[in-house]
Structure 1
Amino acid sequence: MANKHSGLQLVHLTLRVATFALFAGRAWQHLFWDAPFRALLWDKDIMESLVLFFRGGTWQEYVTSAATDQFIQYTVVGFGIFYALMAVLTLVVGSRQLAKFTPLYILSSLALVFLAFLYSKEKFFHVGQFFEYTIQFLLPLFFCYGLSNRIKKKKLLLLMKIAIAFTFTAHGLYAIGYYPQPGVFIDLFLNIFSIDEGTAKSILQIAGILDFIISITIFIPHLSAYSLIYAALWGGLTALARTLANFYIDFPLESLHQNLFETVYRLPHMLVPLAALFLTFYLNRSQLRPIRM
């Protein structure tokens, strides 16, 4: 029983750290850098009629107004403050008190869905861009409902696997070149492994195919544990790549400040597969045979 209890504690700890990293990274982004709110608020086709109805004047006055830009900046910072407060709450709240904060975690999940929509719009409504953030916008709910024991463990595991599958399938679409391959990964291979661009693109295509395979095999009992291990390793590498590919030894602090937050809020892409793996161990009542569910 002690081993089972400690195994569940490990699941909860991993979800807590993942949720904290998500909120902390997004707070860092919004408070010190930017978020793609202008992709929506400066879209004439979508916003013009609303702007003219509520604000008056002309569209040109709206988009060139300093007050408009200031409003957008305040909005970005406001979201940053909210994410920062959620990060602190996630660190200190006990599992028994989580239920009373459920509305905040639901709100944070909706905010992250909206952010994923903004990123998708910025990339010409690429569906893959939106679903790449599935782990992130569902994680607050996994944490809130999982630690407060308001969801059955098997159902929680299934939902985490679905989120992982959507996220990694979206990764795969970029890696194989269905969407433009991310330059950050090509740069990572070029800068660290000293290989040519063609080889880097081929490696990415193989990684994309593996993403698709993993998105299926995590649901196959005899393969799920091994697939989750791979997902955790690849998720960690893709998160770390954001910092490594843009780190300059001549400007270490500036490089970290400009890029580390992208790694931090992507850590759940590693930690959620790990939590799913630990939960698999727990449900199998053994940390030595994570094979059958």
Structure 2
Amino acid sequence: MFIGRAYQFYFFGAPFREFLWDESFLSPIVEGVFNTPWYDYATSPLVNKWIEFVTKGFSIVLLLGAFISLFWQQITWIKVKKSILGFGIFILILLGICLVKSKRYDPLQFFELSIQFAAIFVLFFSKNSKIANKRRLLFWLRVTIALVFISHGLFAMGLIYVPGHFIDMSISILGTTEAQTKHFLFVFGLLDVVASILIFVPKLYKYAFIYIIVWGIVTALARLVSGFNSDFVLNSFHQFLYLTIYRLPHGLMPLATFMLYKEFEKQPKN
């Protein structure tokens, strides 16, 4: 996930301008504190370069976070790795806030990032990757998964609105009409919501997890498949692979949670 976001930040930027160019929010600071007209600030090439510079700097932090996550147990500098990981979490939270703002303060945009945060928090708050209270961990991981898939489901069902890229991807891959696509999305959106509830039901959680794992991986791969052009292979990977990478936790985190749940069930109960 860190790798995907690092690639995005470096080559495609991040929506930080949603916050930094919000006149109603920042003009009192820009004009009142720095005594700079808002127009000069908003059109300044220097400010724009600084935003790009900071965004690329964030991408390097995220790349370091990816390296640390991969070699968490091998790296013995606890304070260093937790500091970098903590800064990475801050960057992702800031990204989530900007995404929410860009979608008219829709909180579901933030909830969609829950799984992407979850793996990092598990590492950050663990000691040598060993979790003392697995029961509590499993509960919060399931809550996180539910938040993501309920958000997906509500979007897909159109109860709030159907994101345009949901429709575009489905039409591109399935070759359906827009009306057929909306019906397709509604069905799977409903399944997302139902599965999110069933992962808390002891006798049914296995089936719910299987659906969530498969669907999470499929929807991540859909980003690459829908945009892939065999005539421009490298460009297709450049444009769309990072979207798949940072969404793979939507399938891999439920898989890890399911495996942890099975391991927990095998342990003798006190």
Fold equivalence (TM over 0.5): yes
Identity over aligned pairs, percent? 36
Deviation digits for residues 93-148 of structure 1 (CA, Å, limit 9, x no counterpart): 21784854334333322321111111110111111111111111232011333552
Q: 1:198 matched to which residue of 2? A: 179
Q: Does residue 282 in structure 1 map to residue 263 in structure 2? A: yes
How many angstroms apart in 2 are the aligned matches of 1:165 and 1:139? 15
Letter in 2 for 1:72: I
Q: Would you say 1:75 and 2:54 are equivalent positions?
A: yes
Q: Is the 8 A contact 1:131 1:166 kept in 2?
A: yes
Question: Hey, what's the Cα distance between the residues in 2 that align with 1:243 and 1:251?
Answer: 13
Instruction: Pick closer, same or farther for the CA change 1:99–1:223 going to 2, 3 Å.
Output: farther
Residue 105 of structure 1 aligns with an amino acid whose one-letter code is: L
Q: Which amino acid aligns with 1:117?
A: I
Q: Does 1:58 align with 2:27?
A: no
- 1:9-28 to 2 correspondence within 5 Å? 22-28=1-7
- Counterpart among 69, 87, 92 of residue 90 in structure 1: 69
Q: Does residue 139 of the first structure (1) align with residue 119 of the second (2)?
A: yes
Equivalent residue number for residue 19 of structure 2: 40
Partners in 2 of 1:109 and 1:176 — Cα distance? Answer: 30
**Segment drifting more, 132-141 vs 66-75:** 132-141
On the 8 A contact 2:99/2:110 being kept in 1, the answer is yes
Partners of 1:77 and 1:45 in 2: CA distance = 26
Is this contact kept in 1: 2:118–2:144, CA < 8 A? yes
Work out which of the residue numbers 146, 153, 162 in structure 1 matches 2:134. 153
Deviations 1:46-65 (A, max 9, x none): 11111223432200000000
In structure 1, what is the Cα distance between the partners aligned to 2:115 and 2:133?
Answer: 19
Paired position in structure 2 for 1:163: 144
Q: What corresponds to 1:3 in structure 2?
A: none
2:103 pairs with 1:123 = yes
Q: For 1:5-62, what per-residue CA distance to the aligned partner results, in whole angstroms no more than 9, with x for missing partners? A: xxxxxxxxxxxxxxxxx11001000111110000000000111111223432200000
Q: 1:98 to 1:270 in 2, by over 3 A?
A: farther
- Runs of 5+ unmatched residues, structure 1: 1-21, 287-293
Between the two proteins, the alignment pairs up a number of residues equal to: 265
Residue 217 of structure 2: which of 218, 228, 236 is its match? 236
CA RMSD, Structure 1 to Structure 2 (Å): 1.8
Higher relative contact order (CA 8 A, sep 6+): 1
Q: 2:226 aligns with which of 224, 241, 245?
A: 245
In the other structure, the counterpart of 1:113 is: 93
For the residue of structure 2 that corresponds to 1:221, the secondary structure is coil
2:6 is paired with a residue whose SS is helix
| Partner residue in 2 for 1:17 | none
Unaligned 5+ segments in structure 2 are none
Q: Which residue of 2 aligns with 1:7?
A: none
Aligned 8 A contact 2:85 2:120 in 1: yes
Tell me if structure 2 keeps the 8 A contact 1:169–1:211.
yes
Shift in Å at residue 186 of structure 1? 2.2
| Match in the other structure for 1:6 | none
Letter of the 1:268 partner, please give it. P
Shift of 1:190: 2.1
Separation in 2, partners of 1:58, 1:127? 32
CA contact (8 A) 1:176 1:205 kept: yes
CA distance in 2, matches of 1:282, 1:83: 31
Secondary structure, aligned partner of 2:130: coil
The 10-residue stretch of structure 1 (42-51 or 145-154) with the greater mean CA deviation from structure 2: 145-154
Q: Distance in 1 between matches of 2:17 and 2:75?
A: 40
Give yes or no for contact 2:156–2:166 (8 Å, CA) kept in 1.
no
CA distance in 2, matches of 1:279, 1:99: 25
